[in-house]
Amino acid sequence: MMEQYVKILKEHAIKITPQRLEVLKYLDTHRNHPTAYEIYEALKKDNPSLSKTTVYNSLEVLQRHDIIHSLTISGSELRYDFRTEVHHHFLCRKCGKIIDIDVGCPYMDEFLNGGHRVEEVHGYFKGICKECLKKKGE
Amino acid sequence: MMEQYVKILKEHAIKITPQRLEVLKYLDTHRNHPTAYEIYEALKKDNPSLSKTTVYNSLEVLQRHDIIHSLTISGSELRYDFRTEVHHHFLCRKCGKIIDIDVGCPYMDEFLNGGHRVEEVHGYFKGICKECLKKKGE
DNA sequence: TATAAAATTGTAATAGTTACAAATTTGTAA
DNA sequence: TTACAAATTTGTAACTATTACAATTTTATA
């Protein structure tokens, strides 16, 4: 159940706590780019004494070790993502959904010709998603 | 002096006010992706009665008419950009500077194969800029 | 099992942004 | 040019996401 998450934390020499395991598990099993608040609300059901600060702290430590990523796509709040290969994101203005765009830009390296050291790449697209376009037409 | 900005607002049928003209001029002449607060602080010098809300309102209307864009690159506050052709941005974690990356990704359209209608494209890179890398070595 | 270091909790503070009502300004038409 | 309705500006207060901090609890280790 939790062994896989224990393993991840151990590999990164992060102290193991139930809260961190739950946050990590939640992100692994909910790939819809939740906010810190959504994670907090969900985990509070099984652990009513959970603190919002703990969720933020857990997200921070997981992010620092590159186990998860945060997205700044919305501009008002951060979204969190279980780390996978580089991919991009589409934000639908209508329904608010954030959809994975599973293509890396093959020309990405060209952007780096300025001599900067690039550690993160974010591709954000915004518009109206396929489903909302369909609804509109009906 | 201001004629060019008057012209832009007229073309978009936006009511002309000194505040909007100043905000637009500021963004045209300061291409360093300032925050709303930075714009407010700068313009207050010549117009002490300027309200922060007015800056936000002006930015909102200019953005709605696609005259300026906002960047969510930092995650904590919005940055504003006088509209130009599609280009990307690099945020230096060390000095905080946001640098223009003047290359469009030629494979951008491929991302859209999901059938979504894309209205905005943001490419954000984060790392250490050339200048900060140089300083470190010294 | 004892202990030091680190994490969790709860509350309060902070930062960026938005809501709102009163006063002022804008564009238009007589 | 003047008058007026509609829109904008202003100032203050509210709101939301996030961070700071001190007291308590838990973790990893010996």
Q: Does residue A86 sit at the B interface (CB-CB below 8 Å)?
A: no
Amino acid at B23: V
Query: What is the spatial distance between Cα A68 and Cα A56, in angstroms, rounded to a whole number?
Result: 13
Phi-psi region of B96 (alpha: psi -120 to 50; beta: other; left: phi over 0): left
Name the band, by pLDDT with cuts 50, 70 and 90, for residue B106.
low
> Average pLDDT in the A96-113 region?
71
A32 φ, ψ (degrees, to nearest 5): -100, 20
pTM for the structure as a whole: 0.93
Q: What is the pLDDT of residue B107?
A: 56
> Average pLDDT in the A128-133 region?
92
Among chain A residues, the shortest Cα distance to B122 is held by A124
Report residue A53 as tokens.
């600060």
Q: Does residue A112 sit at the B interface (CB-CB below 8 Å)?
A: yes
CA torsion sign for A50, A52, A56, A57 is: negative
Among chain A residues, the shortest Cα distance to B114 is held by A130
Query: What is the spatial distance between Cα A6 and Cα A22, in angstroms, rounded to a whole number?
Result: 10
Q: What is the pLDDT of residue A138?
A: 59
Q: How far apart are the first and last CA of chain B?
A: 44
> Average pLDDT in the B15-41 region?
98
Q: What is the pLDDT of residue A110?
A: 54
